[in-house]
Structure 1
Amino acid sequence: MTPFLYRIAQAFYQRYGSEISQLAFVFPNRRSGIFFQKYLAEVAGKPLFSPRVTTINDLLAELSPYTAIDRISLLVMLYKRYIELRQSDETFDNFVFWGDMLLGDFDDVDKYMVDARQLYTNIHDLKEIDEFYLTDEQIEIIKRFWGHLFFPSTESDNKQQFIQLWQILYDLYTRLRQDLADRNKAYEGMIFREVAERCRRKEPLDLPYTQVVFVGFNAITEAERVFMEYLRDTGQGDFYWDYYAPTLQDSYNKAAFFLNDNKRRFPSKIVIDEHIDETPQIELISIPSAVGQAKQATDILQQLIDEKLLSPERAIDTAIVLPDEELLLPMLYSIPSDITTVNITMGYTLQHTTVAALMDSVFQMQRHIRFTKGDPRFYHIDVKQLLGHRFIASRLGDEAHRITTFINDNNRAFVSPVELGHHPLIELLFRIPTTADEAADYLTRLLEYLQQDAPADEVTDDDNSPVGFSAVEREFMYHYYITIKRLRDVMTEQHIAMSVDTFFRLLGKMAASISIPFRGEPLSGLQIMGVLETRALDFENLIILSMNEGVFPVKKVAASFIPYNLRRGFGMATTEHQDSIYAYYFYRMISRAKRVYLLYDSRAEGLKSGEVSRYIYQLKYHYRVPIREIQVNCDIATFSPTTITVDKHRYGIEQKLADFLSGGKSALSASAINRYLNCPLQFYLQYIEGLERPDDVAESVDSGTFGSIYHGMMQRIYDRIKGDREQVTVTADHIDAVRKDKALLTHYLEICFANDYYKTPQHPKALTGYDYLTGEIILKLIDKTLEKDRALTPFVYRASELRITGEAPISHHRAVQLKGFIDRVDECNGRIRIVDYKTGKERLDFQSVGELFDSSATERRKAILQVLLYCKLYRENYHPASPIYPAIYIIRNLFDKFEWNIKYEKEPFTDFDRVAADFDQCLTACLDEIFDLGRPFTQTTEELHCQYCDFKLLCKR
C-alpha cells in the first residue's frame, strides 16, 4: 500500500519539479513533515532544494508579532490580575489548578474566535440576551444554562461565588491579553486569533511562498479555518485531506464528522487518485495485564522478524502506538535485542518518572517533620522510603543500610539529623528549608549532587557515570531541575511570595502537567508514538496497545469553566469533537496497514472495566471486518505445598544440637519447647539456625512491648518493697503505700518505656500523645494487680525476673540444658508460688500432662507448660521444704472474673508434686525427639499453627 504522504510528494513533484522549493507544506505535526521530505527525496531520485515544511502552529507563530510565553509566567500574570480584580487573598497554590483551567478556556475562546464579552457577561435578565445578536439556537441554549444556574434569584453560596467569578472573567481575559500585548508576548490561542483577525480584515500577510499546501488535517479551529479561507481566497492555499479509507466514507461514523465540510470548503487543486480496497489483517489480543501488553508486543515483533515480515534494519515500516503513555518505559524495556534502533515521538509526563517519585518522597518527608524542644525529627517511614529510592541508595551504598538498621534496632519513630550521620548526601537530603527560595535551592542542589559523577568508591563502570543512572533518567532529572529553576525565576521576577509547602505542592502540580518530549531520528528504526503523532503517517505493521474503552478513545474531558451548553452555543469544541477526532485517528491509521495488532487489558478490577474499545465492536458488527481474536492468559502455577524435612545429619545440625547438651553454650527455654511442639521446622529455623524476623519500628506499643513494660513495672515495685533483703513479708500497708505514690509509679513507667520502647535507657522522659494513653492503661492494670495482691497479704516476696537454669536427662546418658526467667516467686499460705504474668489470652485448666505436650492439639495450654517447667527448675535449684504451685496472672482478666489458680482435672492445682513425675516423663520424651538424629525436622500438620508464623512465606504454607 502506497503511503498517503508518498502520493502527495509524487503528485507535487510531477507538477512542480524542482520549483517545488517555492512551496510551503503545512502538516499536523513535525514527524509527518519529516516523512514527507523522505518520500519527496525518493520520488525525485536526485538532490533538490526542499520546500518549506512546517506545522500550522509554527507558521502562525511566524506571522504573528508576538512571541510565545511560558506557562508558569502566564499563570503568575493571571494570578496577579485575578487578585487585583477579585480583591482576594487567595494563595497562589489554591489558584494554580483552576487558574490553569482559565488559561485553557482563554486559549479556546481565542482559537474559536468567540466574542468574549458575550460569553462572559453575567446575565441576570434574560431579555439582555437579545442585545448580543445571537442566533435563536444560541439564545435557547444559553437560556437553558443560565436558567438552571441562577433562577430563582435565591442562589446558594456556591452559585453566588460562581456568579462573582463569572462577573470578572471578561475583565480578567481582556486585561491579561493587554498585559501580554504590552510585553509583546502571547499564548498560543492569542497568536492564532491575532493572525486570523488580520485575515478577516483582508490585511496582507506577506507570505514568502507561492503556495501553502495543507496536508493531513481533520478537525480545525475557527482561527485556523479563517486563516485557511484567507489563503484559499487569495489563491495561495491548497488542501489535501486523508479521507480515503472506506470506513471514513460512512456518514454514520463519527470519524467523518468534519469530512464533508472540509472537502467542500477547502478543495484540492491536484486530484490524488487514492483508493483503499484492501482490508488489513487484524488480530485482537486480550491480556489480563497492563505491562503484559508490552511483553506481548515484543512477541509480535519477534514473530514478524522470524517470518521475514519485519527487517530489524528497516523497522521504520512498523509502529507501536501507545494511547496510555505510562506504558512507554515497559515497552522500551521489552524491545527485542534484534531491533537496535528505536525512535520515540511522544510525550511522557514528568510525574510518572523516577525523579518525580523521589521528589514526592522529599515533599512527604518535609511535611512530616516534627520538632521536639526546637530540634527537628524526621518520620522513620519517610526516611526509609527516601533511603530505599534507587537514586539515593545507589549513592549511599552501605550507609543506607546502616541508618535503616539503627532506626529499627532503636525503635526510632522519629529520627534526629545527628542520628542519620554525616554523609554529604545525607546532610544535603535532610535539610529543612524555611522559605520557598531555600526550598528551590535545596532541591536544585540535591539534583546537582545526583547528576555529578560518582566518587571513586561509588563508580561501577569505566565511563564514571552515576551509579545505576540511565541516560533517560538523567534526562528526567534535567527536566525537573529546569522546572524548579524556572519556577524560582518567575517567583523572583514577579515578586510572588509563597510558603515552602505551597512551593512543593505547586512543583508537584507542574510536574503533572509537564510532558517530556522524546525526539530521535524519525527516518530509522522501530517507531514508537502516541496517538496524536500518527496523523498522516502509514505503516505496514501496526501494534496498538491499550485498546480499552476509556483509554482509546480517551474518556478524560479537559476541565473547563465553560459548560457544555455554552460551548456548543458559541461553536467551541465539545466532547463530540473529541469523540470524532479520536475515531478519525483510529480508522485512518489502520486503513493502509497490512497487519494490525490490537491489544487490550482484560482485567476487570478497581476502576478498570476490562472492556474493549467501541472501535472493535464497530469493526466487527457494523463493518463486518474479520478479526482474529486471541486470549492470552497468565500462567498461574497451583501446587500443593511440598513437605519440607531437614535431615539432622546435614548442614552441621548435629553440632548445633550438641550445643544445647550438658557443657554446651546454649540452653532451651520453655518458649523453644513450645515452638517445637507447634512446628519442628519453625523450631529449627529459629533456635538452631538463629533466623529472626527483621526488626521494624513500632510506632505504638505492641503487645510484646506492652508485656515487657508491665513486667518491668511489677519487678521495680516489689524490689523496692524488698530493698536489700533476701526476702520480705509484704503487708497491706506496703501495697497501699505504693498505690498512693503516683509520682513513683509514673517514674517507673517512664523508665520502663525508655528501656523497652524508646530504647533510650539513660534518658527517660515524660510520656505524650498516644504513649501517654497507653501508659495510663498500664498504670490502671498495675493498680488492679496490686489490689488483687493486697487480698493475699501477708505473703513473702522472694524475687522477680529470676533467671533459673537446670538440666533434663535424655537417652544415651545425655542431658539437655534448660533455662527460664520466672516473673515472680513468693510464698503464700505456706506454699511457694511461681507466678507468670500473661498479657495474652490463656486458659487455666488441663486434664493431663500429656495434653500439654500434644503437638496435634489446636488449643494446647502453652502457658501452663511454661509455668510447670519453671516449677521443676525452681525445685531442683532451691529444694524448698514448702510445696510449689504455679500461678498465672492473666492481665486482661483483672477487671472481670480474675483467677490465678490453675485447675487440674477440674480441681485447684496446689502442688507441683502431683504431676512432677508425669511432667519429667513427657519432657524427656519431647527432648528425646528433638535430639534424635534419626528424626528429621518437619513442618507441622496443623495449618492453624501457621497462621501467625514468621516463616510462613518461607515454607510456602
Structure 2
Amino acid sequence: MKTFIYEVLKELQLRNENISNITFILPSKRAGVFLKHKITSVFNKTIFSPKILSIEEFTTELSQLKLISNTELLFEFYSVYLKLTDKSNQDNFETFSKWAQIIIQDFNEIDRYLIPQKQIFEYLNAIQELNHWSKQENKTDLVKNYLSFWNKLIDYYNHFTEHLIESNVGYQGLIYRESVSNIETYIQNNSDKKLVFLGFNALNTAEETIIQELLQNGIADIYWDIEKSFFENPIHDAGMFIRNYHKKWSYFKSNTFKWITNNYTQEKNISIYGVPKNIGQAKQIGSILKHLTKEQVNLSNTAIILSDETLLLPVLNSLPSNINALNITMGSPLSSIPLASLFEKLFYLHKTSNASFYYKDVISILSHQNISCLFDYNNKTKVSEIIETIQENNLVYLNINQLKALSNPFEEIIDLLFSSWENNAETALKQTQNLILKIKTCLDSNKQEHILSLEYLYRFNELFNEMIRLNTKYSHLKSINSLFEVYKNLLSTETLDFKGEPLEGLQVMGMLESRVLDFETVIISSVNEGVLPAGKSHNSFIPFDVKLQYNLPTFKEKDAVYSYHFYRLIQRAKNVHILYNTEADVLNGGEKSRFITQLELEDIHSITHKMVLPIVTNTNKQLSQVKKDDGVLKRLKEIAEKGFSPSSLTNYIRNPIDFYNQKILKIKEYDEVEETVAANTLGSVIHNTLEDLYKPLEGIFLTIDIINEMKPKINDRVIHHFKEIYKDGDLTKGKNLIVFEIAKRYLNNFLEIEIEELKNGNKIKIIAIESENKVLLKLDEIDFPVYLTGKVDRVDQLNGTTRIIDYKSGKVDNSKVSVINWEDITTDYIKFSKSFQVLTYAYAMVKEGKANLPLEAGIISFKNLSAGFLKFSKKESSHDRNKITLISEEILQEFEIELKKLIIEICNPEIDFIEKEI
C-alpha cells in the first residue's frame, strides 16, 4: 500500500529536491515520526534528516511566543481581571474560572480567525444592549452589571493580550495572530528556505494567511490529501474545506493543485458491527484482532482508532494474548486512575469546615487501596477494626478525636487525612504532598509489586507540584473550592503516557492522532452520533448568528472536520471494521453515525452489517447443597442440646441453607451502620420497654391505676433502650426522631388498649414476662437429646383464660395466624411462620408445666393495634368461618407430629441441606 507520506516523498525525489534542506510542516507531531521513517524507504542513501515541525511548533517559531497551559492562562487572566475590576465587584477565583475559560476560548477563536477585535466586541455589546431593553430608563443593578461585563470585554482582551506578549507567552490564537504579523519578516529572512505543508484540511484564517503568503513568495509547497469523489461532490462534507481553498486561493489559479487522488473507489472489505455497550465494543475489537492474527495479517499496518478515548483501558484488556508489539499514541486519562478518586474524596471532605465527618466518607477514604496499606500491622490492617467499631456503635458522624481513639497507633495517618485544611489552599497542598510521600514510603517496601502504583503516584506528585508552583507564583487560590477547580482543570488535561516503539506492532490511537497516516486495516470504534461526529455544542459567549457573520466555525464546520478524518482513514485502507454502540445512552442515544448511513447509501463498496450480541447461555441456577458430614452432625448435636428455638426452626423452613450458614457455620449477617433506626431495633426497644414496665407485675392483676403509673416511665425507658441498642446513633433529628416518637406512641396506644379492656370489666392477670422455656423432646429416631427452647414475651390470663402473647412491631393480620392443613405449617414460611412460632411457645410451656390447656396463643401487632389480640386459629378450609381458637390437647398433638418431623429432618444425616429456589 502506497501511503500519502510515501507519495509526497516520491514526488520530491522525482523533482530532485534536496530533502535535507526542506522543512516539513505537519498537522501533528505524531505524523512526523512516520514521515522520518518513510524517508529511509524512499531515499536509499545516507542523508541529513530534514527539519520536521508540527503547525503549532512552526507558528511558535514565527510568533516568538511560548505556548502556556490553559490552567496557567487562567491565572494570568485573573491577574489582569483584578487590575481592571473594582474590589467591590471582583469575583473570587472559583467563580471567575467558570466564565473565564469560555472567554479565553472565544479570544482564541477570534485570534485564530483574525477577526477585528474591537469590531466584534462592540457588536456583541450592542446585541446585549438590545436584548436588555437599552432604551429603558430604569435598569436594575443586575442588568447594569451584566451590560457592564459585555462592555469590558474589549478591555479584558486588550490588557490580557498585551500582558501575555510582554511576558513572551500566549495562547494558541494569540500565537497565530502574532505569526501572521511576523510572516513578512520571516519571508525576508528565510528566502532560501523550502517549506512543505502536507496533510492539512481545516485551516483557520491565520493558517490560511501564513500558508498563502509562503506559497506566493515561492518558498513553500502544499500537498493536500483529498479524494476525487469527495472533492467533486459539492455537498460532501469531507471535501468542504479543500474545495473552498481550491476555489478561493489565488495561488491555485496559476499553480498545480496537489493532489486529488482516486483511492476511495478501489475495492475494500468494509464490515460494520452494531454492538451493545462500550465493553461489548472492546470485546468485539479483541475478537476481530484474534481473527486477523489467525489470518497472519501484518499488525504493523493495522490501527485501532478510538473515537471515544475512554475505551482505551477496556480495549487494552481485551487484546489477544499473542499480540506482542503494541504502540499507544494516546495517554490514559489521569482522571481514570484510582488515586484520582482518593484526592477527589479528600477535596469533598474538606471543602466545608465541618467538625465531624459522615461515616461513609470516612470508610470510603480508609478503605481506598492506597490508604489501607498505611494502616498495616502484623500482616493485617487496622482499617477493618475501625470500620467494625463504627458499624457496631452506629457512629454516623465522627470527629477527628474519635477517629484517633479508634486508630491507635496510627493517629498520625488520621491527622494527615482528616485534620482540617482550614479552607486554605497552602495547607491543603502541604497535606496532600505529605500524604503522597507517606503512600510512596508504603509502596517502596515492595517496589516490584507496586511498580504501576508508584508510576501513578509520581504523576500525581507532578500534578500537585504544578499546583504548588501556580499558587506560589500567583497567590490567587484563597479557598479549597478554588484549589479544587484548578485540580479538576489540571486533571482533565493530564494523561499517563505509554512508552513503546512507535513504528512497530499494532497502533492504538485517537481520531486526531491518525491525521496524515494510512493503514491497510483500520478498526474504528464508537461511530455513533454525538461521538463521531461530536454533534452540536455551543460552549461560547458568541451567538451562532454572529459566528456565521464573522466566518467563525460552528458545529457544521466541526462535523465537516470529523467527516474528512473518517473518510481519509478508509480511503487507502483495504480492510475496514466499523463499530457502533446499539444501546440507548444519555450521550448518544444509541444511534449509529450518519457516516455509516452515508457509506451504505453510496453503494460503492461491498458492506457487511452485523449485529453482535453477547452469547447468553440459559443455565439453570445450581442450588446449593450441603451434605451432613461429621462436623455438621457434631454441631447439630450442640444446637439440639442447647435447644432449637422457634426462630431457628422457621429459619430452616424459610431456607435450609440460611439455617446452615447461620446456625452451623455461625455466619452473621453483615452489620451496617444504622443511619435510620432499623425495624428490628425499633422492635427490640418496644420489647425491652414492655419488659421493664410489666416484669414487676408478675402474679398481679392489672388495674387502671397501675397502667396509668406506667405512662410517665415510657419516655425514660425508651431513651435508655435506644441508647443501649442504637449506641451512639443520633435520635434528636430527622427520621430517627420520628421513629423515636413512633416507639413512644406505640407503647402509649398499647397501654390505652389495656385500660379500655379493664374499663370493659375484663380481668387481666400477668403470669410471666419474657418467660424462658426449655423442654426435652422424645424422639426415638434421634440418638441424642433434643431440646426445644423459647422466650415468650408475655403470658397472662384474661378472665381466667391463659394467653401466650408474642409482640410484633411489624404489621400482622389474622390470615397469618390461621392454619388449614397441618402439613403446610412446616413448609410455607410466608403464610404460616407466625402460627408455627406461637404454637411452639404454647407447646413448650404446656410440656414444661408452666401453662394448662385449653389456652390461647397469638400475636399483638403494634402496626395493627386496633385488631387487638390476634389469636391462633384452626380452620377446615379457607372459606370456613368456624375457627377453633382455643388450643386443646388435640391441636398440640397435631402440631407435635409436624414439629418432630421437622426436627428429625434437620438432624437426619441422610438428608442434605438443600437451598430453596426463591
- The reply to whether TM is greater than 0.5 is yes
Give the Cα separation in 1 of the matches to 2:146 and 2:544: 16
Is the alpha carbon distance of 1:468 and 1:603 closer, same or farther for their aligned partners in structure 2, counting shifts above 3 Å? farther
Give the Cα separation in 2 of the matches to 1:766 and 1:298: 55
Give the Cα separation in 1 of the matches to 2:125 and 2:610: 59
Q: Is the 8 A contact 1:677 1:853 kept in 2?
A: no
Alignment of 1:336-415 (within 5 A): 336-366=320-350, 371=355, 376=356, 378-393=357-372, 396=375, 398-399=380-381, 400-415=383-398
Give the Cα separation in 2 of the matches to 1:254 and 1:902: 81
Is the alpha carbon distance of 1:221 and 1:613 closer, same or farther for their aligned partners in structure 2, counting shifts above 3 Å? same
1:787 aligns with 2:787: no
Is the alpha carbon distance of 1:502 and 1:704 closer, same or farther for their aligned partners in structure 2, counting shifts above 3 Å? farther
Aligned-pair identity (%): 27
Indicate the larger mover: 106-115 or 77-86: 77-86
Is the alpha carbon distance of 1:613 and 1:336 closer, same or farther for their aligned partners in structure 2, counting shifts above 3 Å? same
Q: Deviations over 1:734-773 (max 9, x none)?
A: 322231x3xx433322221222222x6xxx9873443222
Q: Which amino acid aligns with 1:775?
A: F
Residue from 859, 863, 870 that aligns with 1:892: 863
Q: Is the 8 A contact 1:850 1:922 kept in 2?
A: no
Q: Is the 8 A contact 1:320 1:544 kept in 2?
A: yes
Give the Cα separation in 2 of the matches to 1:157 and 1:638: 68
Alignment of 1:620-639 (within 5 A): 620-639=600-619
1:115 alignment partner in structure 2? 116
Give the SS at the match of 1:451.
helix
Give the Cα separation in 2 of the matches to 1:158 and 1:37: 59
After TM superposition, give the deviation of residue 103 of structure 1 in Å.
0.8
Q: Which amino acid aligns with 1:446?
A: L
After TM superposition, give the deviation of residue 517 of structure 1 in Å.
5.0
Residue from 537, 541, 548 that aligns with 2:517: 537
Q: Deviations over 1:617-646 (max 9, x none)?
A: 111212532112222210112234445554
1:734 alignment partner in structure 2? 706
After TM superposition, give the deviation of residue 513 of structure 1 in Å.
4.2
Give the Cα separation in 2 of the matches to 1:836 and 1:917: 21
Give the Cα separation in 2 of the matches to 1:425 and 1:245: 67
Give the Cα separation in 2 of the matches to 1:193 and 1:479: 34
Residue from 837, 841, 851 that aligns with 1:866: 837
1:34 alignment partner in structure 2? 33
Give the SS at the match of 2:189.
coil
Alignment of 1:749-760 (within 5 A): 749-758=718-727
Is the alpha carbon distance of 1:454 and 1:495 closer, same or farther for their aligned partners in structure 2, counting shifts above 3 Å? closer
1:13 alignment partner in structure 2? 13
Give the Cα separation in 1 of the matches to 2:258 and 2:738: 85
Q: For structure 2, which runs of at least 5 residues remain unmatched after alignment?
A: 876-881
1:500 aligns with 2:480: yes
Q: Deviations over 1:517-550 (max 9, x none)?
A: 5564322222111111111111111111111122
Q: Is the 8 A contact 1:851 1:857 kept in 2?
A: no
Is the alpha carbon distance of 1:293 and 1:765 closer, same or farther for their aligned partners in structure 2, counting shifts above 3 Å? closer
Give the SS at the match of 1:542.
strand
1:877 alignment partner in structure 2? 848
Q: Is the 8 A contact 2:826 2:902 kept in 1?
A: no
2:879 alignment partner in structure 1? none
Is the alpha carbon distance of 1:426 and 1:350 closer, same or farther for their aligned partners in structure 2, counting shifts above 3 Å? same
1:771 alignment partner in structure 2? 736
2:403 alignment partner in structure 1? 417
Alignment of 1:123-272 (within 5 A): 162-199=146-183, 206-207=189-190, 210-244=193-227, 246-263=229-246, 265=249, 267=252
Q: For structure 1, which runs of at least 5 residues remain unmatched after alignment?
A: 126-141, 947-957
Is the alpha carbon distance of 1:654 and 1:202 closer, same or farther for their aligned partners in structure 2, counting shifts above 3 Å? closer
After TM superposition, give the deviation of residue 697 of structure 1 in Å.
2.0
Is the alpha carbon distance of 1:889 and 1:732 closer, same or farther for their aligned partners in structure 2, counting shifts above 3 Å? same
Residue from 500, 503, 523 that aligns with 1:523: 503
Q: Which amino acid aligns with 1:433?
A: W
After TM superposition, give the deviation of residue 503 of structure 1 in Å.
2.4
Give the Cα separation in 1 of the matches to 2:104 and 2:859: 73
Q: Is the 8 A contact 2:820 2:874 kept in 1?
A: no
Is the alpha carbon distance of 1:384 and 1:540 closer, same or farther for their aligned partners in structure 2, counting shifts above 3 Å? same
Give the Cα separation in 2 of the matches to 1:347 and 1:150: 50
After TM superposition, give the deviation of residue 402 of structure 1 in Å.
3.2
1:4 aligns with 2:4: yes
1:281 alignment partner in structure 2? 269
1:77 aligns with 2:76: yes
Q: Deviations over 1:815-834 (max 9, x none)?
A: 42111122233444334433
1:829 alignment partner in structure 2? 799
Give the Cα separation in 2 of the matches to 1:209 and 1:686: 89
Is the alpha carbon distance of 1:402 and 1:556 closer, same or farther for their aligned partners in structure 2, counting shifts above 3 Å? farther
2:878 alignment partner in structure 1? none
Q: Is the 8 A contact 1:318 1:539 kept in 2?
A: yes
After TM superposition, give the deviation of residue 729 of structure 1 in Å.
4.7
Give the Cα separation in 2 of the matches to 1:369 and 1:707: 38
Give the Cα separation in 2 of the matches to 1:452 and 1:33: 41
Residue from 446, 449, 453 that aligns with 2:438: 449
Q: Is the 8 A contact 1:852 1:865 kept in 2?
A: no
Q: Is the 8 A contact 2:528 2:581 kept in 1?
A: yes
Give the Cα separation in 2 of the matches to 1:433 and 1:422: 23
Q: Structure 1 length as normaliser, TM-score?
A: 0.86
Q: Which amino acid aligns with 2:427?
A: E
Q: Is the 8 A contact 1:643 1:938 kept in 2?
A: yes
Is the alpha carbon distance of 1:555 and 1:272 closer, same or farther for their aligned partners in structure 2, counting shifts above 3 Å? closer
Q: Is the 8 A contact 1:806 1:817 kept in 2?
A: yes
Alignment of 1:539-554 (within 5 A): 539-554=519-534
After TM superposition, give the deviation of residue 584 of structure 1 in Å.
0.6
Indicate the larger mover: 218-227 or 498-507: 498-507
1:696 alignment partner in structure 2? 672
Give the Cα separation in 1 of the matches to 2:892 and 2:43: 107
Residue from 754, 768, 771 that aligns with 1:802: 771
Q: Which amino acid aligns with 1:406?
A: T
2:636 alignment partner in structure 1? 657
Q: Which amino acid aligns with 1:698?
A: E
Indicate the larger mover: 251-260 or 865-874: 865-874
Residue from 419, 429, 442 that aligns with 1:440: 429
Is the alpha carbon distance of 1:468 and 1:383 closer, same or farther for their aligned partners in structure 2, counting shifts above 3 Å? farther
Give the SS at the match of 1:696.
coil
Alignment of 1:286-365 (within 5 A): 286-310=274-298, 315-365=299-349
Give the SS at the match of 2:507.
strand
Q: Structure 2 length as normaliser, TM-score?
A: 0.89
Give the SS at the match of 2:519.
coil
Give the Cα separation in 1 of the matches to 2:693 and 2:271: 79
Give the Cα separation in 2 of the matches to 1:170 and 1:885: 91
Give the SS at the match of 2:860.
strand
Q: Which amino acid aligns with 1:738?
A: M
Give the Cα separation in 2 of the matches to 1:253 and 1:848: 79
Is the alpha carbon distance of 1:491 and 1:543 closer, same or farther for their aligned partners in structure 2, counting shifts above 3 Å? same
Q: Which amino acid aligns with 1:8?
A: V
2:715 alignment partner in structure 1? 746
Is the alpha carbon distance of 1:114 and 1:718 closer, same or farther for their aligned partners in structure 2, counting shifts above 3 Å? same
